[in-house]
Amino acid sequence: MSVWHEIVITGPGKALRGFIAGFEAARDVHDVVLLGEDLGVEALPFAERLRALVGSGAHVVVAPERSGDALVAAIGARGAEAGLELRGVRAITAARFGFTARAFAPEIAARIRGALLDSLPEGVTLEGLEQTERREADARGTELYSPVHDYTWEATGAFVGPLPGVLEMHRRAREEKFVEPEPLRLDVATTA
């Protein structure tokens, strides 16, 4: 299992995006260093935001260990030139996110089940899954905005596991129109 790092950097977002793009181009790597805001990672905890420099937002970057170590070294060596400052590095031990899903047609419910519930990536578990399915024969009709639907399927739960697998599940959930994923939460080690 690969180790991923949470890297907290303060400075202008545009400068950080440019720095990462240059870093990836110089190393000829792509999609290995990811900004937390692009992934839907939960905002930094309040205490960490207070510690960040005023006026120079704090950004979470996630990267596999090898690229993360190189990015940390690059920020240390040249980040100040772009107004970037390294604020912390921690190993990501797991990731998680909750979701809710609601479908009003059996075909859509089946598609969502197939995408989210039937094939989990290695190491990812689905916790607290609750599903309900209702059929209301009296509610059949042709009205587009009917207050009662003849079929309703709802599900809630949380995906937990290694970051790459949870990222895959978060991507799948975001692609489904009738699924609302919560922001990703990263479980981190106290020291990296």
85 vs 141 pLDDT, higher one: 85
38 vs 121 pLDDT, higher one: 121
Neighbours of 100 (CB within 10 A): 15
How far does CA 54 lie from the centroid of its chain?
26
The structure's pTM equals: 0.80
- Of the residues 34, 62, 93, the one at which a domain ends: 93
- Of the residues 61, 93, 125, the one at which a domain ends: 93
**Residue-level pLDDT at 52:** 45
**Are 84 and 52 contained in the same domain?**
yes
The average pLDDT across 57-64 equals 86
For the chain, the 3-state helix, strand and coil shares in percent, each to the nearest 5, are 35, 35, 30
**Residue-level pLDDT at 54:** 42
Q: Over the Cα atoms of the chain, what is R_g? A: 20
Domain of residue 127: give its range.
Answer: 95-187
Q: Sign of dihedral through CA atoms 166, 169, 175, 180?
A: negative
Distance CA 166, CA 174 (A): 12
**Using one digit for the tens of pLDDT, what is the confidence trace for 110-128?**
999 999 999 999 999 999 9
**Are 39 and 82 contained in the same domain?**
yes
Q: Sign of dihedral through CA atoms 72, 76, 79, 85?
A: positive
Per-residue tokens: 146: 């009917």
The domain tally of the chain equals 2
- Of the residues 68, 93, 118, the one at which a domain ends: 93
